[in-house]
Structure formats: structure tokens, C-alpha cells
Amino acid sequence: MSKHSELDALDLKILSMLMQNAKRPYTDIAKELFVSGGTIHVRMKKMEEAGIVQGQHLVIDPAKLGYDICAFLGIYLDKSSLYDQVARDLSNIPEIVDAHYTTGLYNIFAKIICRDTTHLRQVLHDKIQNIPGIQRTETFISLEESINRPLAILNQRPDAPEKT
């Protein structure tokens, strides 16, 4: 049985509410869903143990901290077999906040946050392009983020059971 089939409608409602506001008290969620606060705690513990919920994160606006450049980096590798080592090396660069092993043109697609274009150039030249196995990179600077939202999980899964 897959992990998503272990979730019922109540679990999905709890997750959806917390994805919108992770600071929302369990007691408030319980009142809205007509269950006890203990039920919410037990359900969340179960989802954490199953690996469905993997921590809580503080979301910040990097620009308000002086990081004005968000860029995406398409990385070409000499050989796909070098992915694991290159990914480990990329993980040591604090400006890289996301990296994905991909299909298509690039072996790796990464998101990088920098203070300005000079900082971006330094990270590209001094850190990323010196990693063994990276053949070349293509950089795309984001001008504006249009969408940033949690996954819509309610009413999206035809296989979600309706029990509570």
C-alpha cells in the first residue's frame, strides 16, 4: 500500500490547513474540523512517522535580507554517472537552495539566491564551474516570482478515501 492511500479525508484537511499556515494551533484546527486537539496531534505524529510531513520551515523574503538575485541554473555534466558526486559538491554551496536531477537538456537544474549580479558571478565562476564533472552551465535570472503556493491536496485525488 502506498503512503498516500493511508491518508483519509481528515488527514488531507489537516495537511491542507497547515500548508496554508504552519503556525496555526492544533486546537484551532480541531475546532474547525469538529475533532479533539488530541486527534490532530495523533494524526500529525502518524504522518511525521510515515515521512509524509518532513519538518516545518520558516519562509523568508530573501530580498528583504539583501539577496536581490534569484537565478536558475541548468547544469550539463560530462557524464550522468557523475551526478551523485556533483550533487554532493553543489550541496556545499550555501547560495544553492534547490537542486533537481532532471530529464531534458540539463542533468541538474538548480535555484540559486545571491546578493547581486557580482555575487552571482563569483558563485558561478569560483564555486560552481570549478566542480569536477560539470561541463557547462546556463543561467536564467528570475525577474519576478509569479506563483509560490503549497500543493492543493483537497479534492485533487480521486483515490482519497472519505472516512474520518
**DSSP per-residue codes, 102-142:** -SSS-SEEEEEEESSHHHHHHIIIIIGGGSTTEEEEEEEE-
Kindly indicate the confidence band of residue 156, based on its pLDDT and cuts at 50, 70 and 90. low
What are the chain's domains? 3-49 (1.10.10.10), 62-141 (3.30.70.920)
φ and ψ at residue 159, rounded to 5 degrees = -90, 0
Asked if the model's pLDDT at residue 4 lies above 70, the reply is no
| Mean per-residue pLDDT of the chain | 91
CA distance 99 to 91: 8
Summarize the confidence of residues 80-109 as an average pLDDT.
97
Q: Is the pTM of this model over 0.75?
A: yes
